[in-house]
Structure formats: C-alpha cells, structure tokens
C-alpha cells in the first residue's frame, strides 16, 4: 500500500478491521406495558433490548434503523440489565441517539460510539428574576443582542478568550470551577451542576495536540446544528412542590443553553475510534457493527479514552458556564439592567453524551457500572446523595428541550428509574427527519415567519440551520415526556414555551 493510501485510510479513521460478525439476532417486539416494548434476546444478544415509547411514538420508532442498533449494543461484552432506548431514540453512530447501556466493571467495555462525537453535549438552565412579559416586549432586540454577543455556528471561535496551554489544561481537569475562577460564574453555580461540573479522572496528556488546537479558541462558543441559546416562559407548573424547590412559577423567564465540547470533543472521539478499532482486534472482541468498536474496561486503551473523554466533558461544562454568562450579559445590556447577572439562579446543568462510573441496583444489589448515555439525561431520584441538598427532596432536575418552535420541560427524577434505566430519562424531542430531509421540506424565510407569527423571535448563524432544525423535523416533545412519565423514569414539573432563540 502506498504512503498516500495509508494516509487516506488514517484520515477516514479506518484501522485494522475488527471481527465483524453477521447480525444473527432477530428483531421482534413484545409489549411489556403502556410505554415499554421489549426486543427479546436472541442470537448473540446477551440481554434484552427495552424501548420506552407510547403507541404513537412506537409506530415511528419501529420503522427506523435504531431498534437494530439497540439489539447490536446488547451483544457487547459485560452489558448489564438491558440495552435501553428512550422515546426520543433515532439512528446514530454505533449506539442509537437516545441509547443507555451499563457495563460491569470487570467484564465490560467502553465504546466511543456509546458517547458520541459531541462529548457532554448538554443543557443548562438559569431561572431569571424577570417576567416573561417583559422579554416578549423586547424579543426582537434581545435576539439581536444574543446574535451579537454570543459567538455561534460551525467553526465559531471566541477571540476574546484565547487560552494558554496551561489554562486549557486547567479547564480540562477542573471544568466549570475553572470557568468560575475566571469570573464566569460563582461557586454557588458550580454546586448546582451535574457532578459539580467536573468528571474526575481527566488527563490533559490523553487529549491529542489536534484536539487541543481546536479547543483552545472555542471555549465560550455555541455549536452549530441543534445547539441554542433560548429564553423561555414558564407556561404551566405541573408539580407545585417540586416547582417550588426548583424556584419555578408561571410567568417567569428561563435561560437555556444547549452546547457541548465543540471541536475538542469531536476530535477526541475521532482519535479514539481509531484506537478502539485496533483494540477490538487486539482483544478479540466480535462486533455486529464496527462502529461499536470498544476496549475492555481496565485496559490501557479504555483508561486513555476515559481520561480524554473526562477532559472533553469538563471543557463542555466550562463552555456552558461561559456561554450562559455571555448570554446574561447580552440580555442585561439590552434591557439596561446590569444587575440581572445577580438575579439569576442556576437551575441545573445536565450532560447528554457521557460515560460515567455510577452505582445502581441490579437484581436487588448495588453494582459499580460504567453507564453510557448517548442522547439521554441522568435522572437521579429523591434522596440521592449526589444531589445538591436543595434538590434532595424533589429529585434531580431533568432538563428536556423541545425544538425551537415548541415546548420544553423541566422534569424530576424518580425512584423507579434506578431499576429500569440506570436513573436515565430522555434528552429532548428527538429527530423525526434527517437534516437532509428537513432541508428539502421548507425554507429559512418560511421558518422565521412562522415562528414570529407564533410569538417567537429567532436568529441563527446560518440559514441552513434554521431549515435543518425547523419544528417539523422533530417528534412531539409532549408525547416524548408522556412516555417518560408513564414509564416512571421522571415526572413533569413545568412546561416552558420559547420566546427568543439563537441557533448556532
């Protein structure tokens, strides 16, 4: 093979071919109850697949390729319980988006396909001491202020926040706390973040030079696609007791941030897919899909990936912390209320794409597991020791964004989710159309006009984003949340509706 051919293979992420075996399992569905469906284990599947969905959602899901991915994940070594799919499931790289799988610490594996390219893509919400009616009166100007004040879009950079190499190392290790130390937030903010905004075990040395190069100019930026800055109105309170604990009431304004680890996280995933392809060969792991390439937990390859992934996750926590502060400054500047920065409280910040060491009940006893959540949200129950004291009685805030034209939700974790889903819930509405399908369906001008007629001001870094992310491209978030409620994974606390949206 020529040098040019070898370089081309490396660039495409193609390593030695692991043992890809025929998919010998059968995809058939059995109804368990009103919102759960089982794919019984067959062939090389080690556990069942479980899909959480209402009848209406299941009719869409069953015709997608994602159930086959659920079954494929069930073949991986050391998987525990079941291969789980949330109601917002759709096809993804390796694991389905909306997939959850936990692996035994002794016999299991870690797979970059179970985390995804946008490591710790997630959502952060602030409760503002600001009436939504005031936001509605100034919506167009606020939207312009967001567009000017928050770097957004594909390849966007933040020239005002260029990091020295040692400063980037600190972000990779400390996450949101490092952003707070730079004046972008407070220690009180950090207390209300998942894992306090820092995944332990990060090692900057495990992050490649190319990943660092991409990340060093992108801290404090909003990604493209479905990433956003949004102001919402609390339209209705559905659980008054939990809403009081969360500081929510009807008519208040919520600031939501959805972004992740940007190019740094993407590069970490890309780097380690090559490593894991080689590891799958080295350790003799047979796969039904090479996108499920993985390494045994405890192996050097797995340890390096987890160290790099933790660094990327911490970068994402810091990124959301900084983007939130930039958005608050833009909002305050437009309204002439500089004190608004002091009048906002972090509700919570959740990771959607992550692999984390956690303890969960399995067959009546707690086990230490590596839980992969790809397009899924942690949903800890009331009383869990990892929750901030202020949320112990209510359960973890579970932040579920809809599309830019329809509702979002705040939920609370429930005890049943521990046995059913390793304390996990959905992460959003979930795509109904691919981006290319959406692009053939509508035009950017029509999207802007339609949203404005609904009382929503939208701005975007590109017209293509508006088209790819238009409301019809997504499932009905009300139906998705109903499935989660029926399954006992999380309970609705408040329904939010959008007023101002900035898309990346």
337 burial via Cβ count (<10 Å: 0-12, 13-18, 19+): middle
Give the span between the Cα atoms of 204 and 212, in whole angstroms.
Answer: 9
Q: Which CATH superfamily is domain 122-271+292-503 in?
A: tRNA-splicing ligase RtcB (3.90.1860.10)
- 189: CB partners within 8 A, 6+ apart: 176, 180, 321, 346
Is 334 part of the annotated catalytic residue set? no
Give the span between the Cα atoms of 120 and 95, in whole angstroms.
Answer: 15
- For 5-64, how does the pLDDT look when each residue is reduced to its tens digit (9 = 90+)? 434 444 444 567 887 887 889 999 999 999 999 999 999 999 999 999 999 999 999 999
- For 446-490, how does the pLDDT look when each residue is reduced to its tens digit (9 = 90+)? 888 998 999 999 999 888 888 888 888 888 999 999 999 999 999
Residue 163 has pLDDT above 50, yes or no: yes
- For 371-417, how does the pLDDT look when each residue is reduced to its tens digit (9 = 90+)? 999 999 999 999 999 999 999 999 999 999 998 888 999 999 999 99
Residue 25: both structure tokens together: 């399992």
Report in angstroms the alpha-carbon separations of 94 from 36, 116, 266, 402: 22, 8, 15, 24
Average pLDDT over residues 177-184: 91
- 415: CB partners within 8 A, 6+ apart: 381, 382
Task: Name the CA dihedral angle for 277, 279, 281, 284, rounded to a multiple of 10 degrees.
Answer: -130
Q: Give the residue among 472, 473, 460 at the shortest CA–CA distance from 503.
A: 460
Contact indicator for 228, 258 with CB cutoff of 8 Å: yes
Contact indicator for 314, 169 with CB cutoff of 8 Å: no
- 57: CB partners within 8 A, 6+ apart: 87, 475, 479, 480, 483
Contact indicator for 468, 225 with CB cutoff of 8 Å: yes
Q: What are the residue ranges spanned by the domains of the chain?
A: 122-271+292-503
- For 201-256, how does the pLDDT look when each residue is reduced to its tens digit (9 = 90+)? 999 999 999 999 999 999 999 988 889 999 999 999 999 999 999 999 999 999 99
Give the span between the Cα atoms of 485 and 399, in whole angstroms.
Answer: 14
338 burial via Cβ count (<10 Å: 0-12, 13-18, 19+): exposed
- The one catalytic residue among 126, 266, 427, 446: 427
Q: What is the DSSP string of 133-162?
A: HHHHHTHHHHHHHHHHHS-BSTT---GGGP
SS3 464: helix
What pLDDT was estimated at residue 12? 47
Give the span between the Cα atoms of 465 and 473, in whole angstroms.
Answer: 12
Would you place residue 183 in the very low, low, confident or very high pLDDT band (cuts 50, 70, 90)?
confident
- For 57-94, how does the pLDDT look when each residue is reduced to its tens digit (9 = 90+)? 999 999 999 999 999 999 999 999 999 999 999 999 99
Looking at residue 500, what DSSP letter applies? E
Residue 336: both structure tokens together: 């002439």
Question: In 10 A of CB 63, how many CB atoms?
Answer: 9
Contact indicator for 100, 370 with CB cutoff of 8 Å: no
Residue 207: both structure tokens together: 């992050």
- 419: CB partners within 8 A, 6+ apart: 361
Give the span between the Cα atoms of 334 and 259, in whole angstroms.
Answer: 23
- Torsions phi, psi for 89 (to 5 deg): -60, 140
SS3 2: coil
Gyration radius of the chain over CA positions:
21
Average pLDDT over residues 175-200: 93
Would you place residue 153 in the very low, low, confident or very high pLDDT band (cuts 50, 70, 90)?
confident
Report in angstroms the alpha-carbon separations of 100 from 49, 97, 252, 348: 10, 9, 33, 21
């Amino acid at each position: 093979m020529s040098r040019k051919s070898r370089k081309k293979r490396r660039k495409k992420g193609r390593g030695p071919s692991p043992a890809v075996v025929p998919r010998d399992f059968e995809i058939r569905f059995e109804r368990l109850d009103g919102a759960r469906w089982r794919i019984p284990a067959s062939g090389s599947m080690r556990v069942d697949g479980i899909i959480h969905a209402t009848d209406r959602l299941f009719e869409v899901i069953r015709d997608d390729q994602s159930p086959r991915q659920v079954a494929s994940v069930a073949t991986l070594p050391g998987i525990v319980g079941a291969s789980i799919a949330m109601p917002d499931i759709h096809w993804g790289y390796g694991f389905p988006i909306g997939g959850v799988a936990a692996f035994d610490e002794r016999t299991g594996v870690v797979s970059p396909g179970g985390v995804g390219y946008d490591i710790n893509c997630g959502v952060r919400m602030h409760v503002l001491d600001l009436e939504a009616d005031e936001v509605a009166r100034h919506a167009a100007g606020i939207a312009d202020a967001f567009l000017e004040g928050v770097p957004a879009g594909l390849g966007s950079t933040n020239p005002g926040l260029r990091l020295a190499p040692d400063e980037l190392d600190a972000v990779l290790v400390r996450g949101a706390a490092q952003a707070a130390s730079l004046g972008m937030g407070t220690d009180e903010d950090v207390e209300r973040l998942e894992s306090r905004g820092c995944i332990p075990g990060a090692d900057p040395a495990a992050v490649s030079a190319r990943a660092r190069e991409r990340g060093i100019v992108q801290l404090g930026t909003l990604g493209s696609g479905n990433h956003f800055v949004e102001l919402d109105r609390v339209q209705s309170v559905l659980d008054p007791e939990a809403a009081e604990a969360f500081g929510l009431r009807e008519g208040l304004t919520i600031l939501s941030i959805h972004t992740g680890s940007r190019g740094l996280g993407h590069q970490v995933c890309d780097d380690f897919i090559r490593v894991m392809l080689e590891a799958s060969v080295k350790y003799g792991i047979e796969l039904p899909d090479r996108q499920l390439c993985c390494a045994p937990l405890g192996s050097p390859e797995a340890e390096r990936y987890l160290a790099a992934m933790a660094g990327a996750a911490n970068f994402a926590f810091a990124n959301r912390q900084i983007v939130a502060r930039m958005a608050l400054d833009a909002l305050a500047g437009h309204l002439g209320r500089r004190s608004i920065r002091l009048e906002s409280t972090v509700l919570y910040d959740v990771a959607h794409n992550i692999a984390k060491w956690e303890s969960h009940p399995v067959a009546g006893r707690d086990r230490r597991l590596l839980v992969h959540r790809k397009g899924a949200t942690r949903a800890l129950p009331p009383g869990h020791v990892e929750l901030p004291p202020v949320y112990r009685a209510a359960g973890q805030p579970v932040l579920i964004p809809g599309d830019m034209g329809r509702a979002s939700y705040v939920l609370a974790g429930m005890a049943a989710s521990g046995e059913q889903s390793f304390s996990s819930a959905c992460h959003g509405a979930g795509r109904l159309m691919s981006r290319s399908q959406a692009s053939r369906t509508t035009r950017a001008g029509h999207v802007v006009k339609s949203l404005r007629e609904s009382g929503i001001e939208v701005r975007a870094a590109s017209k293509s984003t508006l088209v790819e992310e238009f409301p019809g491209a997504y499932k009905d978030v009300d139906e998705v949340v109903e499935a989660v409620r029926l399954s006992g994974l999380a309970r609705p606390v408040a329904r939010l509706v959008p007023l101002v949206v900035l898309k990346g």
